[in-house]
Amino acid sequence: CTSIDWFTEWSEISMSQVADVFLETVDFRILASDNEAYNQSEFRHRLALCCVSLHKVVIETAKRFYATHKRIYYLTPSSYMDLMKTYDRMMTQTKQD
């Protein structure tokens, strides 16, 4: 069986920009206490950088998994988008609770 890898890795800048745009609609005020000075834009950007770092760690872990077990765990741009969607779902659930 042969498969073609059509996906290339996104750059850190690309992932950060995608996360910034994706997180624009998320209201983070629920995370701030009443007394806390809060900059939603700065928080959004820092969270985007965390998402990039997390995705990079998963990529490196997948490489180690392959080296150890000779099994490929595919990570694509849609995997990164799934991460963003999962975060959005968790925030929505937190607001409802």
CB environment 53-87: b (16+ within 10 A), e (fewer): eebeeeeeebeeeeeeeeeeeebeeeebeebbeeb
Tens of pLDDT, residues 40-75: 888 888 999 999 999 999 999 999 999 999 999 988
pLDDT at 17: 93
Tens of pLDDT, residues 19-43: 999 898 887 777 766 656 667 888 8
Structure tokens at 52: 């990039």
